[in-house]
Amino acid sequence: MTQFPPLRNDLLLRAARGEKTERAPVWIMRQAGRYLPEFRALRAEHAFFEICQTPELATEITLQPIRRYSGLIDASIIFSDILVIPQALGMEVLMNPGPSFPDPLSTPADVDKLRQNVDVDKELGYVFKAITQTRIALKGEVPLIGFCGAPWTLFAYMIEGGGSKTFTKAKTWLFKYPEESKALLLRIADVCVDFLVGQVKAGAQLLQVFDSWAGELSPHDFALFSLPTLNHISKGVHEKLRQQNIPLVPMTLFAKGANHALGDLAKDAGYDVLGLDWCIEPSAAREIVKGKVALQGNMDPNVLYGGREAIETTVKRMCEGFRQGNNGEVGAWIANLGHGITPGVDPEDVKWFLECVHKYSAGH
C-alpha cells in the first residue's frame, strides 16, 4: 500500500470509533458539488462521468471544499457517484441533468445482460486511482471518505431507469419476483463489498454506504430486502480486510428515511456510525441507539436557505439535542446535514453553518 502523509486532523475517525471529541467533527454530504462556483466552472468544461473517470479532475473537485473551508471542515469525500456500480455491472448511465439509464432492467430475464463477474480493479480502477491521488494531495489535512450506494437504492435506479417518485417498477419486482429480487440485491452487494475493500486498499479512511431510498420501503420490506444486504456488506468488508491483513476502517450507514430501523441497525448491522435524516430528534435517536454506535447528521439541508439566524438557531438546537438522551451520556457525533446539500445554497452560508458547529458543539 502507498505511504501517505500523516493525518493531522483525526476528529472524524475518533468520533466514528465512538470516542468523545473536543468538538463535533463536521462535513457535508455532497460537499463537492453544484453550489460551488469552482465546481460549476470545471463542470462546464467536462461531462459528469468524465470527471469521475479522470483521477486528476476527481481529485481537484474533491479538494475544492477542503480548500475553501480549510480549518473548518473535517473530512473529504471522494468525488464519484453511486451509479458507478451499475456501470461496472455493464449498464449504460447518462447524466442529463439527472441520472438516466437507456436500457433499464425490465424483467428478471434482463439480469442475464449484466456482467457476470465484476473485476472491480478493471471496471472501477479509476476510482481507486482517484482515491490514492487525493490522499496524497490532501497532505494529511483531513481524512478521505470512500463510499458506495446500497443495493436497494442501486436496484431501484437500475429498474426505474432513473430517479422516481413512486418506485412502481422497482417495487413491482420486489412484490412480483421476490426471490429474483433478493438474488439481484445480493449480486449488487457482492460488488459493493469488493468496491469498498478496493477503496480502503487505495487509501479511503472511512466508508459510507448511501441507502438514499431506504425510506421508500415499509419497515417489513426494509428488513426483508435491504437490511440483509447491508449486513452482507459490513460483514464482507470486514472479512476481506482481515483476510488481507489490512486494518479495518470505520463504516457509516446512511439509510435515509429508515429511522424506524435505528434500534436494529445499532444492534447488529455491523456499522460504526449511523447517519440520520432530519425527521428524528437527535435526543430520541440517542435514546434508541444507546452508546452502541456514533451518530451523524442531521440538519434539514433547506435550513441553509433560511439565512444566518435560522442556521445558527438550528445548529445550536442540534448540538444541544445530540448532547441529550441516553441518560445525559454524551455519545460520539459527527455533524452533517440530514441529506445532501442542494445547488442553490450560498457557499458563505455553508461557511457560517460550519462556524456555528464549531462554536456550539464543544464538549462532544
The residue ranges that bind ligand 1CP (CB under 6 A) are 29-34, 43, 48, 77, 79-83, 95, 97-99, 147, 163, 210, 212, 339-340
Give least dist CB 155 to ligand 1CP, A.
13
User: Is 317 a catalytic site residue?
Assistant: no
Q: Which three cell numbers stand for residue 314?
A: 438550528
Give least dist CB 299 to ligand 1CP, A.
15
Closest to ligand 1CP by CB, 127 vs 360, is 127
Q: Are 91 and 160 in contact (CB under 8 A)?
A: no
Give least dist CB 74 to ligand 1CP, A.
14
The active-site residue, picked from 10, 74, 135, 157, is: 157
Give least dist CB 43 to ligand 1CP, A.
5
What residue is closest to ligand 1CP based on CB? 163
From CA 244, how far away is CA 32, in angstroms rounded? 32
User: Is 286 a catalytic site residue?
Assistant: no
Give least dist CB 348 to ligand 1CP, A.
18
Give least dist CB 56 to ligand 1CP, A.
16
Closest to ligand 1CP by CB, 29 vs 325, is 29
The active-site residue, picked from 14, 17, 34, 68, is: 34
The active-site residue, picked from 30, 177, 264, 317, is: 30
The active-site residue, picked from 10, 74, 81, 277, is: 81
User: Is 126 a catalytic site residue?
Assistant: no
User: Is 34 a catalytic site residue?
Assistant: yes
From CA 220, how far away is CA 264, in angstroms rounded? 12
218 Cβ contact partners less than 8 Å away, ≥ 6 residues apart: none
Q: Which three cell numbers stand for residue 355?
A: 462556524
Closest to ligand 1CP by CB, 31 vs 199, is 31
Report the half-sphere exposure of 222 (CA within 13 A, side-chain side): 21
Give per-residue burial for 187-198: e unless 16+ CB within 10 Å, then b. Answer: bbbbbbbbbbbb
Closest to ligand 1CP by CB, 67 vs 242, is 67
For residue 328, the tally of other CB atoms under 10 A from its CB is 8
359: amino acid identity, one letter: K
From CA 355, how far away is CA 350, in angstroms rounded? 9
Closest to ligand 1CP by CB, 53 vs 286, is 53
Closest to ligand 1CP by CB, 226 vs 286, is 226
C-alpha gyration radius of the chain: 19
Instruction: Give 106-111 contacts, CB < 8 A, sequence gap 24+.
Output: 106/159, 107/177, 108/173, 108/177, 108/180, 108/184, 111/180, 111/183, 111/184, 111/187
User: Is 74 a catalytic site residue?
Assistant: no
Enzyme catalytic residues? 30, 34, 43, 81, 157
